[in-house]
Chain A
Amino acid sequence: MLLDIIVSGLISGSMFALLAIGFSLIFGVARIVNIAHTAFYMIAAYCIFFFTQRMGVGPIPAMFMAIIIVTFLGLIAYRFFIEPIREHEAAVLIGTIALAIAMQEVMLLFFTGDFLSVPSLLEGFFSLMGVKIFFQQLLTFGAVLTILIALWLMLMKTRLGLAVRCMAEDREVANLMGINERRVAMATMGISVGLAAFTGAVVVPLTILNPFMWMEPLIIMMAVVVLGGLGSLKGSFIGAYILGFTEALVVFLIPKGAFLKGSVALSIMILVLIIRPEGLFGIAFEEER
């Protein structure tokens, strides 16, 4: 039981962490609330299904192709639909919702609403104290940690990472210091969508595909981001594991917990916000007037 909770919490926590960090990055840099973030995750999952099941490509090349295609798609969507309305906060929210719905409908047209699945990369499992741990779960967890470390190195050690952190801190001053705001926003969007696509790619063997699969992680991802503080990467990381473990605890310990897992996770978020309105690690932005 305890080990079940730990495994399930670690897997869902890592998935939320990846999604939430991507979402948080683009919010911090460009103040864009990208509701379509998890829709890109859905598209990546479908891409892998298409390449492996219909075209007969191997799973690893399929993953890379999916990530590249989705990143490219994200950049196109950003350039044509999000950038022109970036300054209107409400318009961005609506625009990205519409974008997500459009993607969902296109996938519905191509693949119908049937539940689909993709076989695991690694078959088999080993038992640890009576709990089955699939190799695929270990692989997913390892891939997530690798990507998180790579992202941290990118943000802390490269010039692009410095520019991204500057933009998140203060957009106007970053602009005055000669950082090309548009280009950094574009690059961040690429990274953010790429992270969403990567999440889709590593999680796809563990879940069931359908065109509405973007709704549920969207809600939890937003809860994670708000809990950790908008724009704070550390906050997103810790918040993701808090909510991941909460979900696992609720599912395993409370009868009918599967229905309540979202409710409990969101209630925790609201409780934290009542005590600390800017989230666990958020910085209270000075009011923009």
Chain B
Amino acid sequence: MSLIGYYTRKTYTICKEEVLVLPGRVAVGVFFLTVLLLPLFSQSPYLLRVMVLSSIFAIFAASWDLLSGFTGQMNFGHALFFGVGAYSTALLNIHAHLPPWASIPLGALAAVITGLVVGIPCLRLRGTYLALTTLAFPIIVLGIVFAIPDVTGGELGLSGLSRLTGTRLWDYYLTVIVMLAVCSIMWKIANSNTGIIFHAIREDEVAVRASGINTTRYKLMAFCLSGFFAGISGGLYAHFMRIAGPSTLEVSMSFTVVIWAVFGGIVTIYGPVGAVFILFPLLEFLRFWPEYRTLAFAIVILLILLYMPEGLFPYLRDKIETECPRCKIRNVATRKTCRICTAPLE
């Protein structure tokens, strides 16, 4: 009993001292609660479907950020991991009759192997060369998909996968919880020592190598991690839509993920996730003017880039939080002094 009391008090203290003091953290908490409690207010299948797809694409966008945002390895062919994940999950499910809980992780492993295959030749390239080379890989795979329609279904794709779960509500909870868990893991990786090395590789690779760190290994690791998470999202997508088609490998897929991530703000993990949850439902609800939808989307992106080039969420965060000049702890923008070291904030 006292143990429960102890943990309750500890949770309360953490909430009060660490979460409630910063509006950014409160917003993340509110987001977690909202997506978990949403079915209590509305169970309309359409809304749940939009939210499920948003969660799947949120994982996808965050995995792009982990690779391209953190290590600076601009990947313009991220649809490769998504598509390979979706197609391998579909093949495993249709031919080996594996249930979703086995086929999705195995599909993600196939995406990891793809990550290695792509990562090794790309290690020597940097910057724009890398961006343009990675763009080529999904197109190569797409050509192969069209060339062997007996295995891959060609234009039509592979359909008839088993359902993710029995009902729409359980689909929702499964994808949302996977999304929250996977994104938290990615955020944790990004803030660990590995994440710091990823940051450093983006900033100055030569200096990192000079410090005795094997940058090759870390870059490959970033490719594999990112491929794994993108593969999970691809597998979820295949099982949710019950089809794995060529659209998962298209150029527009690779471009869309980059647009989401940059809109939300790269090198943050939470930025791409938030961006998907804003942009994807917005695009769905703008169906009243279908012919202006994509145009509006493109124009919003251009305006965002002009006025806040570092992305929407870092921009908002800087408005509501300031960094203490002395101890680098973040504070609410309304405070006059730092909450830890009491240094005056400008």
A-side interface residues toward B, CB under 8 Å?
A: 27, 33, 81, 84-85, 88-91, 93-95, 97-99, 101-102, 104-106, 108-109, 215, 218-219, 222-223, 225-226, 230, 256, 259-264, 266-267, 269-270, 273-274, 277-279, 287, 289
Contact = CB atoms under 8 A, between A and B. Distances in A.
B177 interface: no
Interface residues of B, number: 42
A282 to B, nearest CB: 8
A166 B235 CA distance: 50
A24 to B, nearest CB: 11
Interface stretch (B28-36, B79-87, B138-146, B188-196): B138-146
B97 to A, nearest CB: 30
A289 B193 CA distance: 23
Interface stretch (B1-9, B46-54, B302-310): B302-310
B127 A89 contact: yes
Contacts of A218: 251
22 contacts: A27-B128, A33-B131, A85-B305, A89-B128, A90-B266, A91-B309, A97-B255, A98-B298, A98-B301, A98-B302, A102-B299, A104-B294, A105-B292, A105-B295, A106-B295, A109-B295, A218-B251, A259-B146, A260-B144, A263-B147, A270-B133, A273-B125
Contacts of B142: 262-263
B294 A101 contact: yes
B305 A98 contact: yes
Given A85-B306, A88-B309, A270-B121, A226 B129 contact: yes
B295 A260 contact: no
B147 A222 contact: no
A106 B299 CA distance: 11
Nearest to B134: A270
B306 A84 contact: yes
B333 interface: no
Q: Which secondary structure dominates where chain B touches chain A? A: helix
A279 B133 CA distance: 11
Contact of A93 (B131, B136, B299): B131
B258 A93 contact: yes
Nearest to B204: A289
B244 interface: no
A218 B295 CA distance: 20
Contacts of B301: 94-95, 98
Contacts of B236: none
B259 A108 contact: no
B309 A85 contact: yes
A223 B139 CA distance: 11
Given A106-B295, A260-B143, A94 B132 contact: no
A269 B302 CA distance: 31
Given A94-B301, A104-B294, A222-B132, 10 more contacts: A94-B262, A95-B302, A101-B294, A105-B298, A219-B251, A226-B133, A267-B140, A273-B129, A287-B206, A289-B206
A94 B259 contact: yes
B291 A101 contact: no
A29 to B, nearest CB: 14
Given A33-B131, A269-B133, A102 B121 contact: no
Contact of B298 (A91, A101, A266): A101
Contact of A94 (B135, B137, B305): B305
Contacts of B292: 105, 109
A49 B13 CA distance: 69
Contacts of A279: 129
Contact of B258 (A97, A104, A109, A222): A97
Contacts of B206: 287, 289
Contacts of B124: 273-274, 277
A81 B309 CA distance: 12
A270 B136 contact: yes
Interface string B96-135: 0000000000000000000000000100110111011101
B315 interface: no
Contacts of A287: 206
Contact of A274 (B121, B204, B291): B121
Most chain A C-beta atoms within 10 Å of own C-beta, residue among B146, B251, B309: B309
Contacts of A269: 133, 136
B291 A262 contact: no
B297 interface: yes
A279 B129 CA distance: 9
Given A90-B74, A91-B309, A95-B305, A222 B135 contact: yes
A80 to B, nearest CB: 8
Contacts of B135: 219, 222
Q: Please name the 6 residue pairs, one residue from A and one from B, whose CB atoms are nearest each other, closest first.
A: A263-B143, A266-B136, A102-B298, A105-B295, A259-B146, A98-B301
A99 B298 contact: yes
Nearest to B148: A256
Given A102-B298, A260-B147, A277 B125 contact: yes
A200 to B, nearest CB: 20
B305 to A, nearest CB: 5
